[in-house]
C-alpha cells in the first residue's frame, strides 16, 4: 500500500526517536495535545509513546466528533426512529454511543427500529431511492473532513428530486473546539493544564487548509504542527513541535504537505458554504456551549433538514453521574482519574462517549494502554 507502509517504517522510527531524545531539553516538560482521534489511535496502536523520552507526553484532546456529540442529539436521533419510524442511516461509529438512559441506536435496532449502518452518504441516498414509501434520515456527524460529503449528498438529493431524504445535521468545527479548550479556565487562567503545543488534525486540514490555525498560534502563543496520521508523521511532528518550543517560536507548520495546503480544498469548502451555515451556538459534550462551532442546513435546502421536517419531543438529557468525559475531553483529567473507568464503564458497557468511540481517550487507553504508565503521562488534576 503506497503512501501507507513507507510511513510506518521501523528504521525511520528509530532515527526520529533518537533525534527527539537528543533535542528534547531534559530541563523541561513537553505536553503536546493531539486534538484528533486519528492521532490518538495512531499513538496507541503503534505504541508511539514508548519511543518518546520521559519528558515528552501526549495529551488527548476532544477531537473525536462521536465523543463530543451531546447526549441530547443521540436522544433526538432515537426519537426520530420511535416517533416517525424513519429509516435512520448512520456511520458505524455512532451505533453504540449511549444516549439518555443508556439507550443507543443499536439497542433501538434490537427493539425493532430501522437503523442501517452505511459507509457513505451515497449508500444513504441509494436507500432513499430504493424505498420511496419510507422517510430516510441520514445521521450526519463529523468535523470538517466529513462535512463536504454530506453537502454533496444534499445537492444530489435536490438534483434527483428526492422527496423522502433528509439529514440530521451535527457537523462541528475544529477551530472553535481548539479555541474553547485554550480559553477554558483550566488552561487560560489557572494554568493547571499546560498544553505546550498542538498537533493539527490531518484530514480536517486537508479540507480547511492550514490558514485557520494561524490565529491560535498567534493569539495563544503556542506552536501548531499539522500532522499526518501515520506514526512517522506523528513522530516527525513531535520533533517539529519540540524544535519550535526550544526556539521560542509559535508558528503553524505543516508536516502533512503531501495532502494539506494553506488554502485547503476550495471546491469542498464552496460546496459546504452553499449548503450549510453556522449555528449561533451548539452544545458540545464536555465543553458546554460553544458559539459558532457547528453547522446547520441553510433555509434554501430546508426540505432536506430533518430537524425541520420532523417534530420531536425530547426529555432533558443528563450525563451519567460520576462520568468524567467532560473533563477528560478537555485534557484536564485522565481516564484513570474517572472512578467509573474500568469497573462500571468498560468498552462492553460504556457510560460515556469517551469509552464508546475507539478513538475516545478512555477506549484507547483501555484497549492499548492500561496497566502501563506510559512515560510522560502524569495525572494533572
Partner 1 sequence: MCLALPARIVAIDDRGETATVALGEVRKDISLALIEDARLDDYVLIHVGYALNKISEEEAERTLQMFAEAGLIDEGTA
Partner 2 sequence: MNAEVKAFAQRLDLKRGRVDMSHGSGGRAMAQLIEQLFLRHFDNEWLRQANDQASFAVAAGRMVMSTDGHVISPLFFPGGDIGSLAVHGTINDVAMSGARPLFLSAGFIIEEGFPLADLERIVASMARAAREAGVPVATGDTKVVERGKGDGVFITTTGIGVVPPGVTISGELARPGDAILLSGNLGDHGVAIMSSRENLEFDTRIVSDSAALHGLVAAMVEAAPGIHCLRDPTRGGLATTLNELARQSGVGMKLQETAIPIDPAVSAASELLGLDPLYIANEGKLVCICAGEDAGRLLHVMRQHPLGRRAAIVGEVIDDPHALVQMETAFGGSRIVDWLSGEQLPRIC
Chain residues binding partner 1 by CB under 8 A are 1-4, 6-7, 9, 12, 14-16, 18-19, 22-23, 36-39, 63-64, 91, 119-123, 142-143, 145-146, 148-149, 152, 201-204, 206-207, 228-229, 232-233, 235-236, 239, 243, 246, 255-259, 265, 267-268, 271, 359
At closest approach, how far in Å is the CB of 374 from partner 2? 10
At closest approach, how far in Å is the CB of 247 from partner 2? 28
Residue 330's closest CA among 188, 223, 219? 188
Please identify, using beta-carbon distances, which residue of 86 and 242 lies nearer to partner 1.
242
Q: Which of 53, 54, 101, 347 binds partner 2 (CB under 8 A)?
A: 347
Q: Fill in the DSSP letter of residue 119.
A: S
Given partner 2, partner 1, none, residue 278, with its beta carbon under 5 to 8 Å by kind, binds none
Please identify, using beta-carbon distances, which residue of 113 and 217 lies nearer to partner 2.
113
Place of cell 488552561: 187
Residue 213-232 contact track with partner 2, rule CB under 8 A, x = bound: ------------------x-
Q: Is 368 in the site for partner 2 (CB under 8 A)?
A: yes
**3-11, 204-212, 260-268, 327-335 -> range binding partner 2 (CB under 8 A):** 3-11
Given partner 2, partner 1, none, residue 47, with its beta carbon under 5 to 8 Å by kind, binds partner 2
Residue 109-148 contact track with partner 2, rule CB under 8 A, x = bound: -------xxxx---x------------------x---x--
Residue 78's closest CA among 45, 46, 106? 106
Q: Is 48 in the site for partner 2 (CB under 8 A)?
A: yes
Please identify, using beta-carbon distances, which residue of 51 and 287 lies nearer to partner 2.
51
At closest approach, how far in Å is the CB of 326 from partner 2? 19
Instruction: State the cell numbers at 254.
Output: 505543516
Instruction: State the cell numbers at 176.
Output: 472553535
- Distance from the first to the final alpha carbon of the chain: 42
User: Helix 37-46 crosses helix 231-246 at what angle (to 10 degrees)?
Assistant: 110
At closest approach, how far in Å is the CB of 226 from partner 2? 18
Cα distances from 42 to residues 3, 196, 230, 355, 358, in angstroms, run 15, 20, 7, 17, 11
How far apart, in whole angstroms, are the C-alpha atoms of residue 105 and residue 218?
42
Instruction: State the cell numbers at 126.
Output: 441509494
Please identify, using beta-carbon distances, which residue of 163 and 267 lies nearer to partner 1.
267
**77-85, 158-166, 290-298, 343-351 -> range binding partner 2 (CB under 8 A):** 343-351
Q: Is 64 in the site for partner 2 (CB under 8 A)?
A: yes
Cα distances from 293 to residues 77, 178, 206, 282, 327, in angstroms, run 20, 10, 19, 6, 19
Q: Which of 19, 21, 72, 95 binds partner 2 (CB under 8 A)?
A: 95
| DSSP states along 6-64 | GGG-HHHHHHHHHHHHHHS-TTS-EEEEEEEHHHHHHHHHHTGGGGS-TTEEEEEEEE-
**Within 13 Å of residue 131, how many CA atoms lie on the same side as its CB?**
18
Q: Which of 65, 209, 264, 352 binds partner 2 (CB under 8 A)?
A: 65
Strand-pair partners of 15: none
Instruction: State the cell numbers at 72.
Output: 441530547
At closest approach, how far in Å is the CB of 30 from partner 2? 18
Residue 281 backbone phi and psi in degrees, to 5 = -145, 160
Strand 276-278 versus strand 295-297 pairing type: antiparallel
Q: Which residues lie near partner 2 (CB under 8 A)? A: 1, 4, 8, 10, 13-14, 17, 37-38, 44-51, 64-66, 91-93, 95-96, 106, 116-119, 123, 142, 146, 231, 346-348, 357-359, 366-372
Amino acid at each position: 500500500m503506497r503512501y501507507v507502509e513507507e510511513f510506518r517504517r521501523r528504521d525511520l522510527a528509530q532515527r526520529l526517536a533518537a533525534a527527539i531524545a537528543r533535542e528534547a531539553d531534559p530541563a523541561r516538560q513537553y505536553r503536546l495535545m493531539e486534538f484528533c482521534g486519528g492521532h490518538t489511535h495512531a499513538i496507541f496502536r503503534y505504541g508511539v509513546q514508548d519511543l518518546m523520552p520521559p519528558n515528552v507526553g501526549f495529551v488527548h484532546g476532544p477531537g473525536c466528533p462521536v465523543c463530543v456529540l451531546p447526549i441530547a442529539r443521540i436522544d433526538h436521533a432515537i426519537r426520530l426512529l420511535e416517533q416517525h419510524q424513519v429509516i435512520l442511516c448512520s456511520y458505524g461509529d455512532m451505533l453504540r454511543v449511549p444516549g439518555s438512559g443508556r439507550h443507543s441506536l443499536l439497542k433501538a435496532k434490537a427493539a425493532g427500529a430501522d437503523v442501517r449502518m452505511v459507509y457513505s452518504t451515497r449508500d444513504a441516498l441509494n436507500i432513499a431511492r430504493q424505498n420511496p414509501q419510507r422517510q430516510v434520515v441520514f445521521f450526519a456527524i463529523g468535523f470538517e473532513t466529513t462535512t463536504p460529503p454530506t453537502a454533496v449528498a444534499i445537492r444530489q438529493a435536490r438534483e434527483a428530486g428526492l422527496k423522502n431524504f433528509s439529514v440530521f445535521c451535527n457537523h462541528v468545527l475544529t477551530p472553535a473546539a481548539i479555541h474553547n479548550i485554550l480559553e477554558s479556565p483550566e488552561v487560560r487562567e489557572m494554568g493547571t493544564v499546560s498544553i505546550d503545543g498542538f498537533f493539527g488534525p490531518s484530514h480536517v486540514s486537508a479540507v480547511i487548509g492550514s490558514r485557520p490555525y494561524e490565529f491560535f498560534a498567534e493569539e495563544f502563543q503556542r506552536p501548531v504542527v499539522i500532522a499526518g496520521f501515520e506514526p512517522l508523521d506523528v513522530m516527525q511532528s513531535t520533533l517539529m513541535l519540540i524544535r519550535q518550543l526550544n526556539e521560542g517560536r509559535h508558528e503553524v507548520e505543516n508536516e502533512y504537505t503531501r495532502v494539506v495546503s494553506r488554502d485547503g480544498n476550495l471546491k469542498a469548502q464552496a460546496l459546504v458554504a452553499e449548503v450549510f451555515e453556522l449555528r449561533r451556538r451548539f452544545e458540545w459534550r464536555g465543553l458546554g456551549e460553544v458559539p459558532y462551532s457547528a453547522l446547520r442546513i441553510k433555509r434554501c435546502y430546508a426540505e432536506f433538514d430533518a430537524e425541520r421536517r420532523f417534530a420531536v419531543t425530547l426529555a432533558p438529557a443528563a450525563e451519567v453521574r460520576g462520568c468524567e468525559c467532560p473533563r477528560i475531553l478537555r485534557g484536564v483529567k485522565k481516564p484513570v482519574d474517572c472512578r467509573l473507568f474500568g469497573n462500571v464503564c468498560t468498552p462492553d458497557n460504556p457510560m460515556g462517549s469517551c469509552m464508546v468511540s475507539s478513538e475516545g481517550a478512555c477506549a484507547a487507553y483501555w484497549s492499548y494502554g492500561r496497566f502501563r504508565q506510559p512515560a510522560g503521562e502524569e495525572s494533572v488534576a
